[in-house]
Structure 1
Amino acid sequence: MNSSIGFYTFDYSKGIMKVIVYNINQKEKEILALANRKTHKITIITDPLNETTVHFAEAKDAVITINQENQLSHSFILKLISLGIPYLILKSMEEFFIDLSIIKNSGIQYKIIKCSDPRLAASLIIETLDNWGNSDQDHVKF
């Protein structure tokens, strides 16, 4: 809210998404920032997505997990749904141990990125966000 004039201002710019990235290291953070080109509003959390960090995802358009070691359980996916998260990116170099049926049935759009090259992974993440942001204005939250 702009307190000097007393009304809310919103950024309706097409394609800009509010994103939170969990469990990212310094090198990946720098590469992702360069790939982003100051397009999306990205919040960085160095800790993994868990019960103590999930509240940071509130009011975000997309959640990204980087090399999440703990499986995202059924109840945890439901928590993301309850927060209104419409998009989820799971990036890992290894196989995922997650029940994708709950994500598919929830209506959350998701992308799995299995990639060991951090530059390619960052590029794929930003490309995915760009595509979601440009194809859907439902991510604008009031």
Structure 2
Amino acid sequence: MAIRGIHHLAIITADYPRARAFYTATLGFAVLSEHYRQARESWKLNLALPDGSQIELFSFPTPPPRPSRPEACGLRHLALRVDNLDEEIARLQAAGVECEAVRVDEYTGQRFTFLADPDGLPIELYEQVD
């Protein structure tokens, strides 16, 4: 097997306009394409991350809630690499996004924090300093 990386992550939202604004305006991801799928009553938005990977944002009429806390089996969170954690936290807080207290990874010494998207999906910002 020759896996070269992650191509995309798929996220389902209960409030498409709100989630679209969060991922594009607040987090700053570029829109690659956007389609309404009439047969599914669903939007599909492809977003570009700076490293070439993508996020697919889907809407469905009545998605069930995602169990998150206490920790549920399955995908735990989305971790995004940043260069300057303090700058990103300040930018997000100015946009009304709450971030948890900064923690330090006990194994790497790198700093990180968590926030939530509009549907409560945990998102980690991980400061990677070379």
Q: Same fold (TM over 0.5)?
A: no
Higher strand share: 2
Higher helix share: 1
- TM-score, with length taken from structure 2: 0.30
- TM-score, with length taken from structure 1: 0.28
